[in-house]
Amino acid sequence: MNEPVSVFRALHHGRPPGDPLVLPGPWDAASARAFEDAGFPALATPSAGVAASLGHGDGHTPAAEMFAAVARITRAVSVPVSADVEGGYGLAAEELVERLLEAGAVGCNLEDSAGGVLLEARRQADRLAGVRAAAGGRLFVNARVDTYIRGVPAGTDVVGETLVRARLYAAAGADCVYPIAAPAGDLPRLAAAVPVPLNANGTPDGPSDARRLGALGAARVTFGPLLQRRAADAVRGLAERLRGA
């Protein structure tokens, strides 16, 4: 099996409580190098952060540009890189896997909503199974569960619906599940009931937040576009100081 993906997969397992895998989200080659130089063992690109760096709105990056950006990031570093490829850009599983591997990615995020609406769970599970089969173990598949950001039908328990989806996706071969924006208080219940590692959202305010999420059950912590946005804020502050000089 491909060594980088084996290394990446192993990083998610056997972690003690309070010590989750922290994956910064680079948006270009320079940020990727900065995170590698800081000692992080792997990285995970955020689609919204990459979109902003390319001048696109979130969810509006053409597939060719996204894969090219991922390739620039993977070439810039020696650590494994997973790629957020949103819903997969309408590509068949085989082509999606081929393009991810060509870009040098060891994994991918795939979300279960489109146009702001949740997809039917079994349909998404079939999609994940197809990607897993096409990858043949060469990609780590992180299945995003969008119940918290897209909403569930009135009267539906959001944790219960999240668990239904997470278990289906794990059974379909997902290596990890990502209930994006799940409140910290829901993490213990989710982590206890899902047979694969759990990805939680962190804040870029220091290691204590990641440790807290790890203690609640998260095996992996990512930041979405928050790091890119903090960097953009820093550039704006610099620009204002230069303008005022």
Task: Quick: pLDDT tens for 168-195.
Answer: 999 999 999 999 999 999 999 999 999 9
Task: Quick: pLDDT tens for 96-142.
Answer: 999 999 999 999 999 999 999 999 999 999 999 999 999 999 999 99
pTM attached to this predicted model = 0.95
Tokens of 236: 């704006």
- Length reported for the chain: 245
**Complete DSSP assignment for 177-207:** EEETT--GGGHHHHHHH-SS-BEEE--SS-H
* CA separation for the pair 108, 5 (Å, rounded): 11
User: Which pLDDT score, from 0 to 100, does residue 156 have?
Assistant: 87
Closest CA to 76 of 100, 109, 104, 107: 104
Task: Quick: pLDDT tens for 84-100.
Answer: 999 999 999 999 999 99
* CA separation for the pair 79, 102 (Å, rounded): 16
What is the arithmetic mean of pLDDT over 154-161? 90
Question: For 120, which DSSP code?
Answer: P
User: Which pLDDT score, from 0 to 100, does residue 245 have?
Assistant: 64
